[in-house]
Amino acid sequence: MNNPSPTEAAVAATTPGIARRWRPTPLIAGASALHVGAAAAVAFVPATWPWAAGSVIASHLVLVAAGLWPRSALLGPNWTVLPEHAAGQIALTIDDGPHPDVTPRVLDLLDRHGAQATFFCIGDAARRYPQWIEAIVARGHAVENHSQQHRHHFSLLGPGALRREIQAAQNTLAEISGVRPLFFRAPAGLRNPFLEPVLCELGLTLASWTRRGFDTRTREPAVVTERLLRGLAPRDILLLHDGNAARDARGEPVVLGVLPAVLEAAAAAGLQCTTLRAALTSATLAAQPASPAGTRVAPDRLANIQSDGTRTTGCPTPHTSHGNRRR
């Protein structure tokens, strides 16, 4: 019998938008045990303090390194690919908006190609340009949480500050779009061990990417396109930007030169662009055990859970989603 992948196990253990109980990953549990052991060693044999201090410092360095690796699942579940059932699909994710000039043009390109995308939006930008949050949802795309202020020192925040930053964006985006986000992406993908407990509390799932084009720094659309399409495969999650987009030699946002080529290549490969929200909902339905009557929770009931997102339950903690395909 085939065992479920880590991604499928994580999906099966959660309900979209519902808080879940946090349990530490093996790395975090091991680091905690090491701290306790080091303290006990110093208490009973004070002369061991150099070894104890060195081991504690080493564990902190490992935790920091895990947080600096955006695609790592060492600190908690992390979507780096779509669930296994999404075999004929990819996900376009577009960060740092909305932007009053770029976002509407990105939406027009997506409409032209009949593609859906996930927009990870900044709360403050959404407050400034609410009409484009409304347009994203009205045109069939998904709005997800990219923090309220997109602070450059986000990964240095403690649990209280993380909670306030993410909750503020939840409230902002839900108020404007009418739908509570189900996913969170950290600014620059950087995080620390305090993030996952906050996401569990708020019913959010961390998402990174399979491949990125570095379109905030690279000014050549062809180079960005090649990075995204090299080895493109089903279930890939691609990262682009409508906010903070680099400009090409003509002064045009790079994303506008990249999107048509990516969408055409995906269509030629028979890959449909879906949203992370749609992939999660479908995976959750597929993972539900059938009742004695052979029924499952109706999709409209799941949709109600997604839009509400305020109830809590003692749901089991998901297993770590590794998504170990390197890009």
Residue 193 sits in a domain whose CATH number is 3.20.20.370
List 207's β-bridge partners, or say none: 79
Q: Which residues lie below 8 Å from residue 232, measured CB to CB, with a gap of 6+?
A: 90, 211, 265, 266, 269, 271
Could you say which of 240, 258, 276 is where a domain stops? 276
Residue 284 lies in a domain: no
pLDDT value of residue 2:
53
Check: CB of residue 220 under 8 Å from CB of residue 184.
no
Say whether both 61 and 97 belong to one domain. Answer: no
* Residue 57 lies inside a defined structural domain of this protein: yes
Looking at the fold, whether 222 and 179 belong to one and the same domain comes out as: yes
53: containing domain? 26-67
Residue 75: inside a domain:
no
Of 34, 67, 100, the domain-final residue: 67
Q: pTM, whole model, 2 decimals?
A: 0.83
In a domain, 81, yes or no: no
pLDDT at position 56, please? Answer: 87
161 and 263 both lie in a single domain: yes
55 and 183, same domain (yes or no): no
Tell me the residue type at 175: E
Residue 136 falls within a domain, yes or no? yes
203 and 127 in one domain? yes
Residues 177 and 32 reside in one and the same domain = no
322 found inside a domain: no
CA distance 189 to 155: 9
Instruction: Please list the active-site residues.
Output: 95, 241
**End-to-end Cα separation, the chain, in angstroms:** 29
Looking at the structure, tell me whether residues 31 and 101 fall in a common domain. Answer: no
- Spell out the per-residue pLDDT of the chain, length 327, in tens: 455 444 554 554 556 688 999 989 999 988 888 888 889 988 999 998 888 899 889 988 988 898 999 999 999 999 999 999 898 999 999 999 999 999 999 999 999 999 999 999 999 999 999 999 999 999 999 999 999 999 999 999 999 999 999 999 999 999 999 999 999 999 999 999 999 999 999 999 999 999 999 999 999 999 999 999 999 999 999 999 999 999 999 999 999 999 999 999 999 999 999 999 999 987 666 555 544 444 444 444 444 444 344 333 333 333 334 344 444
Phi, then psi, of 234 in degrees rounded to 5 = -55, 145
User: The dihedral of CA 211, 216, 218, 222: what is its sign?
Assistant: positive
Whether 291 is in a domain gets the answer no
E strands, the chain, in order: 19-20, 89-97, 117-121, 142-145, 183-184, 205-206, 211-212, 237-241, 272-274, 312-315
Claim to verify: residue 162 and residue 213 sit in the same structural domain: yes
Residue 188: name the closest of 106, 327, 91, 67 by CA. Answer: 67
Query: What is the Cα–Cα distance from 309 to 15, expressed in whole angstroms?
Result: 10
Quote the number of domains for the chain. 2
Say what the pLDDT of residue 300 is: 42
* Whether residue 265 sits in one domain with residue 181: yes
Helix/strand/coil for 60: helix
Indicate whether 145 and 246 sit together in one domain.
Answer: yes
Task: Tell me if 221 sits within 8 A of 254, measured CB to CB.
Answer: yes
Give the span between the Cα atoms of 63 and 58, in whole angstroms: 9
Q: Is there a single domain that holds both residue 251 and residue 112?
A: yes
pLDDT of residue 259: 98
- Look up tokens 């946002």; give the residue: 253
Residues 6+ apart with CB under 8 A from 3: none
Residues in the chain, total: 327
Distance, CA of 113 to CA of 266 (rounded, Å): 10
Residue 45 lies in a domain: yes
In a shared domain, residues 111 and 224? yes
